[in-house]
């Protein structure tokens, strides 16, 4: 196993940041931990208890993200339904920091099946962003009754345009808040604003963590099995990693999924277009409403 953290001090610094942000959140919520084969998994749950047969929402953040970064969207979703956010193990946050060197997506799939059973029992719509989307696909849990995959890895290979790579290198080698902002602007749609807390967080990540690469596409046989569960794949119109012209045809061909585009957004859909994401998730979940 490889730790996402550079050392124990770095892990403590990341934990303090996340715990502080969650503690300041005004939405009523529960923060808890469950034990899985991947180690301790931290989760945050908000919103009303699901009605009989109604699925809850389980949100899976992307690379370098966690529940503490998703609170505004979670608060909006939690006005009408139960939402649980899981911190992925092996990513900066409040879950265990170790991740395997090989067969990582198989490991993540097993982890999610266990975490769902222990932290969010009952039927669930898995909403995954970027790496979180690939994790949602990697799990064959019977609890998952639908998937909303936002700028999702695991379907096709991610692109890394030269300007984005040029912003990544100085962010890693000489971290600072301005360099974090410059990198995030390359991920977002042109002219978009980058939230201050996100720039601060990414500076902390560069200083304290060993960031992971995006996973390769999942095997065709596995994606064929996932066709049995309804899925919606969404991309920002200006996503530099997964442009709609690439992700859309792959999602339809390999997963048999519906595909949607969010105008005026890039890869950071949870921050750039929270209202659009909220509407898409609500519309998707409404198809499971009980009579």
> For the residues 128-134, what does the mean pLDDT come to?
98
Return the beta strands (E) in the chain as ranges.
2-3, 29-36, 39-46, 56-60, 83-86, 98-99, 124-129, 144-150, 231-236, 258-262
Pick the CATH number of 2-159+213-286 from 3.40.50.1820, 3.20.20.330, 1.20.140.10, 3.40.190.10: 3.40.50.1820
> For the residues 141-152, what does the mean pLDDT come to?
98
Q: Does 192 score more than 90 pLDDT?
A: no
Q: Does 147 score more than 80 pLDDT?
A: yes
pLDDT at 51: 82
Q: Does 182 score more than 80 pLDDT?
A: yes
pLDDT band for position 214 (cuts 50, 70, 90): confident
Average pLDDT, the chain: 96
**pTM, 2 dp:** 0.96
Q: Which residues contact 238 (CB under 8 A, 6 or more apart)?
A: 188, 189, 190, 264, 265, 266
Beta bridge pairs of residue 233: 149, 259
Return the beta strands (E) in 61-174 as ranges.
83-86, 98-99, 124-129, 144-150
Letter string b/e over residues 72-111, b meaning 16 or more CB atoms within 10 A of that residue's CB? ebbbbbbeebbbbbbbbbbbbbbbbbebeeeebbebbbbb
> For the chain, which residues make up each domain, given as ranges?
2-159+213-286
pLDDT band for position 291 (cuts 50, 70, 90): very low
């Amino acid at each position: 196993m490889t730790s996402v953290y550079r050392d124990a001090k770095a892990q403590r610094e990341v934990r303090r940041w996340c715990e502080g942000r969650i503690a300041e959140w005004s939405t009523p919520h529960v923060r808890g931990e469950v034990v899985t084969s991947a180690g301790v998994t931290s989760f945050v749950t908000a919103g009303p208890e699901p009605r009989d047969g109604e699925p809850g929402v389980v949100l899976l953040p992307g690379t370098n993200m966690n529940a503490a970064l998703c609170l505004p969207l979670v608060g909006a979703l939690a006005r009408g339904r139960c939402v649980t956010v899981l911190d992925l193990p092996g990513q900066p946050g409040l879950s265990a920091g170790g991740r395997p060197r090989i067969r990582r997506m198989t490991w993540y799939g097993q982890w999610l099946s266990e975490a769902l059973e222990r932290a969010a029992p009952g039927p669930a719509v898995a909403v995954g962003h970027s790496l979180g989307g690939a994790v949602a696909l990697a799990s064959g849990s019977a609890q998952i009754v639908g998937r909303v995959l936002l700028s999702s890895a695991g379907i096709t290979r991610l692109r890394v345009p030269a300007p984005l790579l040029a912003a990544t290198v100085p962010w890693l080698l000489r971290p600072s808040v301005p360099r974090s902002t410059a990198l995030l602007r390359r991920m977002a749609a042109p002219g978009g604003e980058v939230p201050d807390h996100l720039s601060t967080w990414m500076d902390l990540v560069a200083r304290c963590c060993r960031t992971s690469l995006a996973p390769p596409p999942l095997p065709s046989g596995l994606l064929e099995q996932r066709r049995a569960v309804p899925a919606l794949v969404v991309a920002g119109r200006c996503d530099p990693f997964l442009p709609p012209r690439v992700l859309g045809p792959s999602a339809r061909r390999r997963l048999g999924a519906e595909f949607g585009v969010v105008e005026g957004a890039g890869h950071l859909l949870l921050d750039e277009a929270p209202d659009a994401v909220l509407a898409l998730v609500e519309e998707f979940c409404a198809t499971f409403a009980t009579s």
